[in-house]
Structure 1
Amino acid sequence: MMNRSLFDLARKMTLEKASREFRDFRQAHAYTAARRLMDETFADFPDIDHSFVREFQSAGFSARVLELALFAALREQGKELDRTSPAPDFVMVGDDPVAIEATTTNPPQGETAEDVDLAAAVRRSIPNDLEAAEAEFVFQIGKALRRKLEHRDAQGRAYWEKPHVEGVPFVLAVQSFHDPSALFLTTGPLATYLYGIRDVPSRDSDGSLVLNSQVVTEHRRKDKTIPSGLFAQPEAEHLAAVIFTNSATVSKFSRMGTERGYGPQDVAIARCGVMYDPDPNAALPVPFGYVVGDYGPGEHETFSEGFHVLHNPWTRTPVAAGALDGFTEHHLQPDGRLLTTIRHPDYVVSRTMIIQGDKALLTARLRVQQYLTSDAGRR
């Protein structure tokens, strides 16, 4: 295959016309490892309609990063992909085929990343009002999913009606970028919206954790409401599942590229956040922190980490058992509770700190130690 690069400017594209996200990423020394891993991944990526590079360099930067990470995740799981048609984005073939279309939530028109100061964006990565942020997250995710469900091509066909995917389970993959703090939100509010239920934790007389299901009929944002339980709505009868992630980002490519030795010696990466607690009586996640590379190859991050599959129990064409078992899976049980099968370290939310300088590695280790001994790290 002819060598291709995501960072060679597309025809008629100048650096000044490219998005600021792309310009900053293309030029920054600290992102050397991410750029090399992205180019390595893209070398095997079939760009059917020849639009990927142009969109990656312009307004579609985040959406194309999601698409590239999802492609890499499916490939590392050994999935055979048919990319002879531009839509849906990926069609898994074989005994258990699945058609996957990727989408994102995006900032309101006119409020692109060009208008956001990068330092301010970092400060805003954690929402000030979590309840309001979750409400906005549900509305934005709902809009993105419905937009794809309502989409029809020039022949008036939905994704699942195209000849090459007819009868194949149809899945939507989604990630949220509508706000700098959107990546802080996880599968919890999304599951509530899709299934129309939420788990309410309590403790029994022995102090053991008890989860009870609570029916949710609608979601409210200021003076607007939308119905809950998208999976049970008629418009979603052909939607077999939703794949969600909050980690298919530049940071993932930076961490994984650094693990592979693609980064310069004066750049180090620290990752801190909270992760799933396997204790059955734990109601909250536990803090974690590490310096990328301070462990052996057997503990290297995978592309599949961070992807969650929420299965629709009411769909006409369900995903076959095992077809997407390379990801964390969620199934609604008859008692209304959600059964989650975790196959990777489940980092609920994290912050990746890229540190540059002669003492980058020492500084990164100090940052991790400071986090783990802080109030946030001791919780």
Structure 2
Amino acid sequence: MTRDLFAPVVPDKQAHHLFQQVRAGAAHTAARRLMNEVFTDFHDVDKSFVREFQSAGFSARVFELALFAYLREQGLSPDRSHAAPDFVIRGENPVAIEVTTTNPAQGREPDDLEFSPLRPEEIYDADQAFVFQLGKALRRKLTHRDAAGCAYWEKSHIRDVPFVIAVGAFHNQNAQMHVMSSVSEYLYGQRDVLSHDDSGKLTIATHGIEMHESGGKAIPSGLFRLPEAANLAGVLFSNAHTMAMFNRIGTELGYGSEDVALCRIGTAYDPDPNASMPQNFGYVVGDRPPGQQENFAEGLYLFLNPWANQKLSPQALPGIPFVDLLDDGRLMTMSPGGFHPFTSKTLTIEGSRANAYQMARYQQLKYLGQLPNADQE
């Protein structure tokens, strides 16, 4: 029997504004149906998921539900018989996953309803502020102890199981525009500087990072190297597992309204071995052919901790790129192939079927610079 995540269980004054937005209207029909389908098989061990989903925990619970969908999509059967960690995978390549998010300052909410792109001169400061939010979210889980004084990795049901923290970016309106390189720099304490030699071949120089600074404060870089992270086998990062992902995948499944069109634009991995910048992409949701349609693995990146007490096999979380440190000190990113977005934004257009689709196509071509010059103005 399908359980309805959108049947109100909290008073309207306590309901999160994004929950209220998603539960009403045709624009999110696809997301509602797909979320309810996924939740049907989701074991709510502490009976708090729906209440948190409808109130202050909306974004975190959406992220958790999307991770559950990813695990099931990969043929994994997460054990949710204990309240923590959130997911435990048994078998040949076990892993325990605790889910968290970067969050806005106490008492504030990101302006999710209106997106204002960062200006080029704002990007560096925004990335450093993001690193602080990332560090806060990860350390909050690393220092957490339950009523018995146990850390997550000390719980009897996951002893000797590699422990991973999955973190989603939700701290402000630009949170989903931060890319994996900022995460990598903070976790490993090093930055790759890209350049091209005289023949046009890409060269990579590695520079160490001691500290990250933002707002007059500083935190040490290289979290994986620090003693506090000795029991952290890896970090699973996403800036994509949002309500919009459910809406896009649901639309590709045919769950959406005919009078709603979605256009997805963003940046993605460029397979050119000499590329130093990502490539832009844009498509109208529903146009990708079967076999290339979006799945819940898209947008996930796994960072392995080479100094962890319990090493994690990348096969434990299949179908996604992973980052590891080579013996020579270089970082290696291994990809399973296919399409790997770094950042994306979904534009929702409502109207008659033909008009909505036409406008979505216009937005796609405009972003890619493929309109006639007169129409680019």
TM-score over 0.5 for the pair: yes
In 2, Cα distance between equivalents of 1:197 and 1:263? 44
State the SS of the aligned residue for 1:41. helix
Q: Aligned match of 2:172 in 171, 175, 179?
A: 179
Which runs of no fewer than 5 residues in structure 1 stay unpaired?
none
State the SS of the aligned residue for 1:67. helix
The question of whether the paired residues in 2 share the 8 Å contact of 1:126 and 1:181 is answered with no
Which residues in structure 2 correspond to 1:116-127 (within 5 Å)?
Answer: 116=111, 118-119=113-114, 122-124=115-117
The aligned amino acid for 2:360 is: A
User: Does the alignment pair 1:82 with 2:79?
Assistant: yes
1:285-328 CA distance string (max 9 Å, x none): 11111111113222211101110000000000011242123221
The aligned amino acid for 1:227 is: P
User: Does the alignment pair 1:354 with 2:348?
Assistant: yes
State the SS of the aligned residue for 1:313. coil
1:254-305 CA distance string (max 9 Å, x none): 1000000000110111111111111111000111111111132222111011
1:364 aligned partner: 360
The aligned amino acid for 2:71 is: L
In 1, Cα distance between equivalents of 2:107 and 2:121? 23
Which residues in structure 2 correspond to 1:283-322 (within 5 Å)?
Answer: 283-322=276-315
In 2, Cα distance between equivalents of 1:128 and 1:166? 47
Q: Aligned match of 2:219 in 226, 232, 235?
A: 226
The aligned amino acid for 1:20 is: H
Q: Which range moved further: 289-298 or 168-177?
A: 289-298
In 2, Cα distance between equivalents of 1:283 and 1:24? 39
The aligned amino acid for 1:118 is: L
The aligned amino acid for 1:345 is: F
1:8 aligned partner: 7
TM-score between both structures, scaled by the size of structure 2: 0.95
The question of whether the paired residues in 1 share the 8 Å contact of 2:109 and 2:172 is answered with no
Query: How far has the Cα of 1:160 moved from its partner?
Result: 0.3
Relative distance call for 1:239 and 1:346 in structure 2 (3 A) is same
Q: Aligned match of 1:50 in 28, 47, 55?
A: 47
Query: How far has the Cα of 1:175 moved from its partner?
Result: 1.1
The question of whether the paired residues in 2 share the 8 Å contact of 1:197 and 1:336 is answered with no
1:203 aligned partner: 196
In 2, Cα distance between equivalents of 1:41 and 1:251? 15
Identity of aligned residues (%): 50
Query: How far has the Cα of 1:177 moved from its partner?
Result: 1.2
The aligned amino acid for 1:65 is: V
The question of whether the paired residues in 2 share the 8 Å contact of 1:92 and 1:99 is answered with yes
TM-score between both structures, scaled by the size of structure 1: 0.94
Q: Which runs of 4+ in 1 moved over 3 A?
A: 124-128
In 2, Cα distance between equivalents of 1:40 and 1:149? 32
1:29-59 CA distance string (max 9 Å, x none): 2000011000000011010000000000000
The aligned amino acid for 1:40 is: E
In 2, Cα distance between equivalents of 1:217 and 1:237? 19
Query: How far has the Cα of 1:128 moved from its partner?
Result: 6.0
Q: For this pair of structures, how many residues does the alignment match?
A: 369
Query: How far has the Cα of 1:117 moved from its partner?
Result: 7.3
Q: CA RMSD in A?
A: 1.6
2:267 aligned partner: 274
In 1, Cα distance between equivalents of 2:314 and 2:298? 19
Which runs of no fewer than 5 residues in structure 2 stay unpaired?
none
The question of whether the paired residues in 1 share the 8 Å contact of 2:185 and 2:222 is answered with yes
The question of whether the paired residues in 2 share the 8 Å contact of 1:99 and 1:169 is answered with yes
1:65-111 CA distance string (max 9 Å, x none): 11000000011001121110010000001111100000001111111
In 1, Cα distance between equivalents of 2:144 and 2:314? 28
1:214-260 CA distance string (max 9 Å, x none): 01111111321111000000000000000001000011001000000
In 2, Cα distance between equivalents of 1:105 and 1:125? 18
In 1, Cα distance between equivalents of 2:118 and 2:195? 30
State the SS of the aligned residue for 2:291. helix
Q: Aligned match of 1:191 in 184, 194, 218?
A: 184
State the SS of the aligned residue for 1:49. coil
The aligned amino acid for 2:90 is: V
2:254 aligned partner: 261
State the SS of the aligned residue for 1:297. coil
The aligned amino acid for 2:88 is: V
The question of whether the paired residues in 2 share the 8 Å contact of 1:173 and 1:243 is answered with yes
In 2, Cα distance between equivalents of 1:144 and 1:294? 37
1:120-160 CA distance string (max 9 Å, x none): xx125778600110110011100110010000000000000
In 1, Cα distance between equivalents of 2:181 and 2:259? 38
The question of whether the paired residues in 2 share the 8 Å contact of 1:100 and 1:172 is answered with yes
In 2, Cα distance between equivalents of 1:83 and 1:191? 29
User: Does the alignment pair 1:72 with 2:66?
Assistant: no
1:134-193 CA distance string (max 9 Å, x none): 110011100110010000000000000001001100000001211111111011011000
Query: How far has the Cα of 1:17 moved from its partner?
Result: 2.3
